Structure 1
Amino acid sequence: MLSRKVKDNIIKVLIYLSAAATVGILAIIIGFIFIKGIPGISINFLTRGYEDKTTYVTTELLEASEDTGNDGEVYVSRLGITLAFDGENALAITEIDKDSPLKKAVDENGNTYEVKKGDAITRIGRYKASSELKDIDAEDEKAKAEFLQKAVDEVNGQEDPTVKLKVVRIGGGIVPMAVTTLYMIALSLLIAGPIGILAAVYLNEYAKPGKIMSVIHFAIQNLAGIPSIIYGLFGSLFFVQILKMQYSLLAGALTVSIILLPTIITTTEETLKAIPNTYRESSLGLGATQLQTISRVVLPNALPGILVAILLSIGRIVGESAALLLTAGTVAQIPQALFGNSASGATLTIKAYTLMKEENNLTSACAIGIVLIVIIVLINVASKLITNKFLAKKGLQK
């Protein structure tokens, strides 16, 4: 028989090992994502749209002056830009003057279209620069210099005061998915937050023990245990098809809101239970109604716990994939409406999934994973700061 001291030591070792295993697993996961994803992180990745955008624009030309070239670049004075050879998109704009006419270019609809640094020009007038790429060796500096000079000659050879260009705004970035994720977080919390908090208030402050309360708690427990793919199937059938919202931001947010309710209700209810009854009794004793007591005494003191519920919900929204895959869609664009043809949009998690499944692009998928980790860390920090500030005002901060 082992002595009690030996048993205590064994249990203590198991506790330490469990804690170490938890930290180790987290470190391995984050380390793997960062190692694989760091090569895919860049300014362009964080600031560009996902798809290349092609636009035909017309712009005025300046008076010609000296066109200089060095280190594989050439300055085009009549456009006020510096061009470089790009083996994929013909002529890349590496610099653009403050007074360049391209900043006030006009698209085919007559709207102003500002050409920016990083855009590429694939056609100048009738000169199709992109069609000559296949004949140029990327290692042949002389051929590249001649290619750039042809572009300059084409611009300088324009007799009209304007020229038509085909401009490509290079994609490969995550801006549409990041914006869609923020939209999804805001809309889902706007729907689920009030419903979940008010439901918790009813359960803790108004409902009496009995069949109704048992049924509600039973429903909440079952909602928490249902796999998210089931919610996705329901959302796809009810919101997308029956209500004809199509794949849209609203259909996705409504589906995710249902997923969030158990978390918000349970966490908020437990927080309300932790508020001492003496607070309620004191408020009621001073003549306040029950509603005034809840709104001015109970809920303000429960704010830190409610913030925890919101934080957990945000993490669930950011990490959700199955439900949104079947309701919000996989299009890498910023939704232009709540529902309808232009309301579909992929979140960061959905895009990471499709990158792996359809393109086997591990680097970009892990790069998105890094962005998601950073978002969660920032949310945690912000929530902690807000909670500490609240506690400091109440004189409860340690």
Structure 2
Amino acid sequence: MSRKAKDNLVRGAIYGCAGFTVLILVVIIGFIVIKGLPGISIDFLTRDYEDKTTYISVDAAEQEQTSGQEEGYVSSIKAVIGLNDKGQAVITKLDEDSPLKEAKNTKNEAYPVSKKDIITKAGDLKIEGISSLSDAVSSLNGLSGNVKLKITRPGGGILPMVVTTLYMIGISLLISAPVGIFSAVYLIEYAKPGRLMSTIHFAIQNLAGIPSIIYGLFGSLFFVKVCRLQYSLLAGALTLSIILLPTIITTTEEALKAIPKTYRESSLGLGATKLQTINKVILPNAMPGILVALLLGIGRIVGESAALLLTAGTVAQIPQALFGNSASGATLTIKMYTLMKEENDLTTACAIGIVLLVIIIFINWASKAITKRLLKKGA
């Protein structure tokens, strides 16, 4: 075989491997998009996952004999309703002075009714299974004085998981970023080559190679049980912080190594102390690399599931505290897992996958844009 033929063969293999890689990516993304796109909507992105049923008290207005009102207008509550496929009264429009906007729940707390809420009961009258809109309007127009309504706020959305994911990102980085960056500064600027430094690097390399489920088991045993944090935001964030440390330390180390030695020598030669040199010269110039480390950490947090499954819980709710009974919450990846394992809901799982893909693509774009801007600013 001639040299030219060998070169063509190697070139073909390289192009073939590159094309195969791109094809796999296109197939994966295409599958997720095709299966999940029907499930994407504004309601899917902005609603709670579970339906929320609440009893409210409202002062029904006096009926007014008016003409020209649109179909489904209920004068007693000054709102327009429609019927869903279950024969329930769905609020489609509210007047500015509708008493529903001043409603209060059983705890005497303000609970303003909004569009798309469903009235399932008014006093002792059930507003369900009605086939005629006029019958529903007549029933509700019969209300007077202070009336108790049963309101259902439809779920089917991923808002709690999105909020929990954002909480997890913020808390995890707040814990791991300072520890990781300061550790890298010590290793590059202060530590001397020797057994101690080799041991530290060996530990970091091994931490990076440990499966996340092992971290989850540790977090479940130590943070959840020993520290009594229960399944909570804080237990999950502390576990994720340990997972992120190798990435942040290693990437920050590379960013610090890239700073020319002359920068340090010039600063020290002008009378600056070691700490001043690190604070005013080295860290600002290493900032693009440090930001890359943090953005990689965000990507790891968004995609993590095994560790959080054992520490943060699977409840589809917005956590109300850092730890305790009301601090448990499922992230987007955890909800994807439970949807497939327990409910076999491929469409909703793929819809969440689309949201995750958008987040990851945005993180990659932001990483490149920020790095490019900082490098241009420092040039």
> Is this a same-fold pair by TM over 0.5?
yes
Residue of structure 2 in register with 1:57 after alignment: 56
Aligned with 2:318: secondary structure? coil
* Counterpart pick for 1:222 among 193, 203, 206: 206
- Residue number among 112, 123, 134 corresponding to 2:110 in the alignment: 112
Give the 4+ runs in structure 1 shifted more than 4 A.
66-71
Question: Is 2:54–2:150's contact at 8 Å kept on the other side of the alignment?
Answer: yes
Of residues 340, 359, 365 in structure 2, which corresponds to 1:375? 359
Aligned with residue 187 of structure 2, among 167, 180, 203: 203
For each residue in 1:7-65, what CA deviation from the matched residue of structure 2 results, as whole angstroms up to 9, or x when unmatched?
32222222212221221111111111000000000111011000100110011122312
- Output the CA distance in 2 between the equivalents of 1:208 and 1:19: 42
AA paired with 1:244?
Answer: R
Q: Secondary structure at the match of 1:113?
A: coil
Report if the CA contact (8 A) 1:124-1:151 is conserved.
no
SS of residue paired to 2:49: coil
Map residues 112-191 of structure 1 onto 2, 5 A cutoff.
112-130=110-128, 133=129, 144-145=131-132, 148-159=133-144, 161-191=145-175
Report SS of the residue matched to 1:168: strand
CA distance in 2, matches of 1:257, 1:335: 19
State whether residues 76 and 143 of structure 2, in contact with CA within 8 Å, keep that contact through their aligned partners in structure 1: no
Q: Which amino acid aligns with 1:393?
A: K
Give the structure 1 partner of residue 215 of structure 2: 231
Superimposed CA distance per residue, residues 165-205 of structure 1 (whole angstroms, 9 cap, x where no aligned partner):
00000000000000000000011011111111111111111
Structure 2 unaligned residues grouped into runs of 5+: none
Structure 2: distance between partners of 1:266 and 1:89: 60
Q: TM-score, normalised by structure 2?
A: 0.96
In structure 2, the partner of 1:347 is 331
One-letter amino acid of the counterpart of residue 272, structure 1: L
Identify which of 337, 345, 360 aligns with 2:321.
337
Question: d(CA) in 1 for partners of 2:161 and 2:126?
Answer: 33
Aligned residue for 2:11?
A: 12
Cα 1:182–1:175, aligned 2, differ >3 Å: closer, same or farther? same
Q: Alignment partner of 1:302: what SS?
A: helix
C-alpha separation between the residues in 2 aligned to 1:369 and 1:67? Answer: 50
Map of 2:369 onto structure 1:
385
Deviations 1:322-347 (A, max 9, x none): 00000000000001100000000000
Alignment map for 1:213-362 (pairs within 5 Å): 213-362=197-346
1:92 counterpart letter in structure 2: V
Q: In 2, distance between residues paired with 1:89 and 1:189?
A: 48
Superposed, which structure 2 residues align to 1:27-46 within 5 Å? 27-46=26-45
AA aligned to 1:250 is L
Kindly provide the CA deviation profile for residues 258-299 of structure 1, in whole angstroms up to 9, marking residues without a partner as x: 111111111111111111101111111111111111111111
- Mark the runs of 5 or more structure 1 residues left unpaired by the alignment: 137-143
AA of the residue aligned to 1:128: K
For residues 218-267 of structure 1, the C-alpha deviation after alignment (integer angstroms, 9 at most, x for no partner) is 10111011110000000000000000000000000000111111111111
- Matched residue type, 2:336: A
Are the structure 2 counterparts of residues 89 and 194 from structure 1 closer, same or farther at C-alpha, using a change threshold of 3 Å? farther
Q: 88-97 or 343-352: which moved more?
A: 88-97
Q: Distance in 2 between matches of 1:181 and 1:364?
A: 17
Does residue 364 in structure 1 map to residue 348 in structure 2? yes
Structure 1's 287 and 44: CA in aligned 2 closer, same or farther, altered over 3 A? same
Cα RMSD between the aligned structures? 1.7
- Residue 67 (structure 1) shift: 7.2
Q: Distance in 2 between matches of 1:220 and 1:346?
A: 29
Q: Counterpart of 2:78?
A: 80
CA spacing shift, 1:174–1:16, aligned 2, 3 Å:
same
CA contact (8 A) 1:67 1:74 kept: no
Task: Confirm or deny: 8 A CA contact 1:251 1:327 kept in the other structure.
Answer: yes
Q: How far, CA to CA, are the matches of 2:3 and 2:206 in structure 1? A: 42
Measured at CA, do residues 48 and 106 of structure 1 come closer, stay the same or move farther in structure 2, by a change above 3 Å? same
Distance 1:195 1:382 in 2: 23
Q: C-alpha offsets along residues 115-170 of structure 1, whole Å, 9 cap, x if unaligned?
A: 0101101001110123xx2xx6xxxxxxx22xx333323333234x2211000000
Which region of structure 1 is more displaced relative to structure 2, 279-288 or 243-252? 279-288
Supply the distance in 2 between the matched residues of 1:386 and 1:266 (Cα, whole angstroms).
20
